[in-house]
Amino acid sequence: MKKLSSSLLFCILIASCGPKITDKVAEQPLFEVLTQQSTGGANIKFSEILSEPNEIKMLQNDPVLKKKISEHDVQNSNFLILNMGEQISGGYKIGISSVEEKKDSIIVTVKEQFPEPDEMVTQAITYPYCVLKINSKKPIAIK
């Protein structure tokens, strides 16, 4: 019994004297693609930056997005909607190629993908779009 209690005391002593494990908050990524779809976007090509809480709350009415946007996000993030407009077939995508944080702004570079001339694609009209969350309230510039 003495041997067991001295072993237990030794383990407790080592655990208390060892390196402390701290709860380090993981740094949030600069951006997150909330959804990227081949259809469901608008008829015209446009991009829109949502920065006001009442604008952002409108995104929460979308069944795909409502579980991905918290009240914290509404207050601390900006959102970007990218629409490629009406396309004559499948194989089109819109998204981002890069997001850079500058001292006073966020630079978002948009990337559009088109089907290859000989690629087999869905023969249906599509409306590609993408919704992006930027974890910053800095002004956004789109390239």
Question: d(Cα 58, Cα 139) in Å, to the nearest integer?
Answer: 20
**Contact in structure between 82 and 94 (CB atoms under 8 Å):** yes
Tell me whether residue 15 is in a domain.
no
| 128 to 50, 68, 74, 87: CA distances (angstroms) | 19, 20, 24, 8
Total domains in the chain come to 1
- pLDDT at res. 26: 60
- pLDDT at res. 111: 96
Tell me whether residue 28 is in a domain.
no
Tell me whether residue 8 is in a domain.
no
Domain that holds residue 110: 36-142
Tell me whether residue 21 is in a domain.
no
Tell me whether residue 29 is in a domain.
no
10-residue block means of pLDDT along the chain (143 residues)?
A: 48 48 63 94 95 91 90 94 96 95 96 94 95 96 94
**Contact in structure between 111 and 96 (CB atoms under 8 Å):** yes
